Amino acid sequence: MPEGDTIHKLAAALRPMLEGATLSAVATRARRGDPLLEHGAMEAGAVQARGKHLLLDLQAADGRLWQLRTHLGMYGTWHQYALGAAWHKPDPSAWAVLTLADRVLVCFHPRELQWRPHVSGAADVPQLDARVGPDLLDPAVDLEAVVARVRARADAARPILDVLLDQSLAAGIGNIYKSEVLFIHGWHPLTAVGAISDTALLAIYHEAAHLLRRNLKPGPRITRERAETNEYLYVYGRIDQPCRTCGVPIQRALLGEHGRSTYWCPSCQTGNPAPILPHQRGRT
């Protein structure tokens, strides 16, 4: 699952290439195994990131407005090629092909791709609004409203790690930030969200928004305030290594609704979590 800052950085990279550009051809694939569907020449408009969704506005020669939405998931990527250059991945794995005057942009293996009419020229449609909560990278995001949204929509018994990964509550937090933010604020990943006060929950989302914004710049993702070279994170990816605060070995297990890799310090991160079952203690 990509972090929200990844998609915002992708949008920033694509924006100067696409916004205002003429595309001589646009093609998309509706489902795996389907042929690419040609949409003809288009004028590209705004390139936006909303949570983990990349949105590209397009206008056809007949004046109709369209929007291409992609969600990369774990394996999706966008590639850039010179005209006529060989692609690094097989043609059937391309789900969107955008041809410009001097290059081709190809989206391979997205988790989701949707080609749809651009409803009334609005950047969002009700379907996306229902799936994607406030973007933590939106400069105008109201974090107190995010906390209120969590209280209204999440079961109080739901573990905090699942709440943080739920993009319908707030968009942008992925697996790395989930583990890192919970370490910074000292909460065990399996702590029920109802056991966390509004003040503490607000602090967690403030931290996540701060780290996401901090990592919009080029370079490695960093969550530590002072990081040595190649030592940028507190717990993620550091199973059995000593905690940077107390020295106790970092633990890892496949936790939560989707069995995602989760890292934590058993000494620094407190709470009253449910027991971790033996099958959850994968080490890969």
- In this structure, are residues 207 and 181 in contact, taking their beta carbons and an 8 Å threshold? yes
- Quickly list DSSP for 71-128: E-TTT-EEEEEETTPPPSS-GGGEEEEEE-SSEEEEEES-SEEEEEE-GGG-S--HHH
The pLDDT value recorded for residue 230 is 77
More confident residue, 52 or 263: 263
Lowest average pLDDT, out of 39-53, 83-97, 114-128, 239-253, goes to 114-128
| pLDDT value for 126 | 47
Q: List the structure tokens of 8.
A: 């915002």
pLDDT of residue 270: 84
Among candidates 123, 135, 129, 133, which has minimal Cα distance to 55?
123
Query: Under the phi-then-psi rule, with left for phi > 0, alpha for psi from -120 to 50, and beta for the rest, what region is 120?
Result: left
* Proportion of the chain above pLDDT 90, given as a percent: 68
3-state SS, residue 145: helix
Report pLDDT for 274: 58
What confidence tens digit (pLDDT) does each residue in 166-205 have?
A: 989 998 899 999 999 999 999 999 999 999 999 999 999 9
Rounded to an integer, the average pLDDT of 18-45 is 93
Catalytic option among 35, 38, 52, 242: 52
Range name among 16-20, 109-113, 149-153 with the lowest pLDDT average: 109-113
Annotated catalytic residue 189:
no
Pick the range with the lowest mean pLDDT from 72-81, 100-109, 155-164, 271-280. Answer: 271-280
Tell which residue, 220, 242, 208, 60, has the closest CA to residue 135: 208
Give tens-digit pLDDT for 132-144. Answer: 889 898 889 999 9
Instruction: Report phi then psi at 78, rounded to 5.
Output: -110, 135
Q: Is the pLDDT of residue 264 over 80?
A: yes
Q: pLDDT-derived band of residue 277, with 50, 70 and 90 as boundaries?
A: low
Cβ distance 161 to 73 under 8 Å? no
CA distance 170 to 178: 12
pTM: 0.74
Tens-place pLDDT, residues 204-221: 999 999 999 999 888 888
Spot the catalytic one: 2, 110, 134, 273: 2
Sheet holding 94-99, edge to edge: 77-82, 103-108, 94-99, 22-28, 37-50, 53-60, 65-71, 112-117
| Cβ proximity of 156 and 257 under 8 Å | no
State pLDDT tens for residues 102-135. Answer: 999 999 999 889 998 876 545 445 456 557 889 8
Residue 276, pLDDT score: 59
Asked if the model's pLDDT at residue 260 lies above 60, the reply is yes
Length of the chain: 284
pLDDT beyond 90 at 79:
yes
Percent of the chain with pLDDT over 70: 90
Rg for the chain (alpha carbons), in Å?
A: 21
For the cut 60, the answer to whether the pLDDT of residue 279 exceeds it is no
Could you confirm whether 225 is annotated as catalytic?
no
What tokens were used for 282? Answer: 């994968």
pLDDT at 13 over 50: yes
Q: What does the pLDDT read at residue 73?
A: 80
pLDDT tens sequence across 19-31: 999 999 999 998 8
Tokens describing residue 76: 């999706």
Give residue 130's pLDDT: 59
Q: Is 24 helix (H, G, I), strand (E, B) or coil?
A: strand
- pLDDT of residue 1 exceeding 90, the answer is no
Residue 129: its pLDDT value, please?
A: 55
Residue the block writes with tokens 């107190």: 144
Q: Pick the catalytic residue from 3, 110, 180, 273.
A: 3
Q: Is 275 a catalytic residue?
A: no
